[in-house]
Structure 1
Amino acid sequence: MAKCIVTHPVTFFSTSTGHSWRYLLAGARSDIKRDKAIIQYARKPGLAHNQRWKYQDGFISSAASPHLVLDIRGGDHKEAAQVFLNHKDATSPTQQWLIQPFEDAKSKEDLALLRPPPLQKHLTDFPQPEDLCDYHRLVYHDHKPSPSPKQVAGAAAFEAMRIYLATQKEKGEPVVTPQARDTLQTLVREQIAALQDLISAQDRGEVLHTAEQAASGYFAREFEGQ
């Protein structure tokens, strides 16, 4: 059984229609449930249960909900036929897939388009959403000596988002609320204060601002756009 987040060019071939879908990077936004359309966007930094998949016996199933698999709506052979989540059916030919690696110059350009630019660059190299999880691990778990300002900013943004999402889940409250952004910014400031020994005094303000931008940008793209 293969379990993965698709981060490299891949072609999904339907064994029933012969059509293909390239660069399938995510499932439905947020919740995983039947009849949700599959969409394509940049890899989320570690928080995305809807980007994790299992491949077994020709089925591509959601790791979070293994009974839901990729299907072709209506079994349509036309171009732009929609891929969606459906209940697993061993007799359905439209739920059978082959996965084949694919990469060329055009695919690299297409993948680059899936990574939205940051709202504004403050550090020499702005922390990208797909890097935040790695920076969080380096700073909070591996305790990397002398992390870069970018790594500290990205780690703080990720930790603030992690705390916010966990708190909302524990309270049974929605993620998007009128107070969400203010709460998230407060959490970012708390994390930067906790990590201040890793940041030079002259960089502290810039790192804070960059962490706030990284957290806000991620939140806006992944939650407010639903």
Structure 2
Amino acid sequence: MTIPMHRLGGRAFTHADSDDDETEREYDRLRDLAGQEAQKRNACFERSQEAYKAGDGAAAKELSNQGKRHAAQMDAYNQQASDFIFRANNAPGEVDEDEIDLHGQFVEEAERILRARIRADRNRGATNLFAIVGKGNHSANGVQRIKPAVERLCGELGLRYATDEDNTGRILINLQGGEAVMPPPGQQKPHHHQNYQQHTQPHHSGYPAQQQPQQGDDHGPSLLGLLARKLEKNCCIVM
């Protein structure tokens, strides 16, 4: 398996509240090991071709087999890095139950993870999913790679999605085929199994959307709503 070497964001671990960089260092270590194996793989395949051109079929075959072993080890290290950073970024209390953080993932990894999450959430009747894809500030040339991949996947699955014009690095996906409309800035998110009501703020959507006002204070969530959200998050952390 060949994975595009473009990860999301400048930091792979996005929820650290302290100066502890142990998670980031472990992630980088695994990616570096994968990169070293990739270099060894390429060197073996290059030498294999040279041996073949020189008429040494036995050496060419042996070098090719070595290259395949390095390729397999590269995939193993990348998988370890992907699993490791996903667990860290999506640990209980780090994201809401209707969110998935794709920071630190390569494009192909992000697609695979999101596809599996969409399938699982749809099967249990969930309506909405927020994919955290980043703003692209740290991507090469400022070009987002995960966001277009998520949009392509939504198109493939026939799902509607929406992004907010403030570019918070999130994509809202409607998992049940309905309209996807971002809540206004500062608006409290509804629970995982509720539909988002449409609102009057402009947004970017995978499909055109009708708009109507959303309930609640236009200047932000109510005090009761904030307290309920805080209690809900604390309960998740305890569990």
Give 1 or 2: higher helix fraction: 2
Answer yes or no: same fold by TM over 0.5: no
TM-score between the two structures when normalised by the length of structure 1: 0.27
TM-score between the two structures when normalised by the length of structure 2: 0.26
